[in-house]
Amino acid sequence: MKLDLDPRLVAQARALARRAGQPVVDLARSHTTVSVERAVLRLAGVTGADPDGIPFVNRLVDAVRADVGLGCGVALPVFHALASSGLDDLTLLAQKAAAGSIRFSLPAGADLRRAKSASRRAVAAGMKTIDRNRATRDRLIRRLGDPRQRPWIYLIVATGDIHEDIPQAQAAARAGADVIAVIRSTGQSLLDYVPEGATREGFAGTYATQENFRLMRAALDESSRELGRYVRLTNYASGLCMPEIATLAGLERLDMMLNDSMYGILFRDINPIRTFVDQRFSRQIHARAGIIINTGEDNYLTTADAVEAAHTVTVSQLLNEFFAHEAGLEDWQLGLGHAFEINPDLPESFRLELAHALLARELFPEAPLKWMPPTKHMTGDVFRGNLLDGFFNLAGTMTGQGILLVGMMTEAVVTPWLSDRDIALQNVRYVLNACGNLHEDFVPAPGGFIQRRARQVLAEAIDLLGRIVDDTLLEAIADGTFGIMRRPADRGKGLDGVAKHEDGYYNPATEILEDKP
Task: Mean pLDDT check: name the lowest of 413-417, 445-449, 485-489.
Answer: 413-417
Which string of b and e fits 365-387 if b means at least 16 CB within 10 Å?
eebbbbbbbbbbbbeeebeebbe
* DSSP state string for 477-509: HHTTTTTT----TT-SBTGGGEEEPPTT---HH
Q: pLDDT by residue (tens digit) across 87-139?
A: 989 999 999 998 889 999 999 999 999 999 999 999 999 999 999 999 999 99
Is 106 in contact with 504 (CB distance < 8 Å)?
A: yes
What does the pLDDT average to over 336-350? 96
Opening angle at CA 191, ends 190 and 194, nearest 5: 135
Task: Mean pLDDT check: name the lowest of 34-48, 116-130, 209-223, 415-429.
Answer: 415-429
CA gap 409, 480 in Å, rounded: 32
- Whether residue 36 has pLDDT greater than 70: yes
> What does the pLDDT read at residue 83?
95
pLDDT band at 300 (very low <50, low <70, confident <90, very high): confident
- Whether residue 383 has pLDDT greater than 50: yes
> What does the pLDDT read at residue 260?
87
* Inter-helix orientation angle 272-289/310-326, to 10°: 60
Opening angle at CA 337, ends 509 and 2, nearest 5: 125
The kind and range of the H/E element at 182 are strand 179-182
Q: pLDDT by residue (tens digit) across 190-223?
A: 999 999 999 999 988 999 999 999 999 999 999 9
Q: pLDDT by residue (tens digit) across 243-290?
A: 999 999 999 999 999 998 888 998 899 999 999 999 999 999 999 999
- Whether residue 301 has pLDDT greater than 90: no
What does the pLDDT average to over 46-50? 94
CA gap 208, 189 in Å, rounded: 10
> What does the pLDDT read at residue 233?
98
pLDDT band at 517 (very low <50, low <70, confident <90, very high): very low
Which string of b and e fits 196-224 if b means at least 16 CB within 10 Å?
bebbeebeebbbbbbbbbbbbbebbbebb
Task: Mean pLDDT check: name the lowest of 82-86, 151-155, 303-307, 332-336.
Answer: 303-307
- Whether residue 167 has pLDDT greater than 50: yes
Average pLDDT of the chain to the nearest whole number: 95
* Predicted TM-score (pTM) of this structure: 0.95
> What does the pLDDT read at residue 150?
84
CA gap 249, 40 in Å, rounded: 14
User: In angstroms, what CA-CA distances link 337 with 46, 163, 232, 293, 352?
Assistant: 34, 30, 18, 10, 17
Task: Count H helices and E strands in the chain, helices first.
Answer: 20, 11
Is 354 in contact with 450 (CB distance < 8 Å)?
A: yes
What is the biggest distance separating any 2 CA atoms in the chain, rounded to whole angstroms?
74
> What does the pLDDT read at residue 516?
58
- Whether residue 304 has pLDDT greater than 90: no
CA-based nearest residue to 231, from 162, 157, 160, 301: 157
> What does the pLDDT read at residue 142?
96
CA gap 287, 103 in Å, rounded: 35
For the chain, the straight-line distance linking the first and the last C-alpha, in angstroms and rounded, comes to 43
CA gap 236, 249 in Å, rounded: 9
Q: Which residues are part of the catalytic machinery?
A: 263, 298, 370
- Whether residue 305 has pLDDT greater than 60: yes
User: For the chain, what are the domain ranges?
Assistant: 32-124
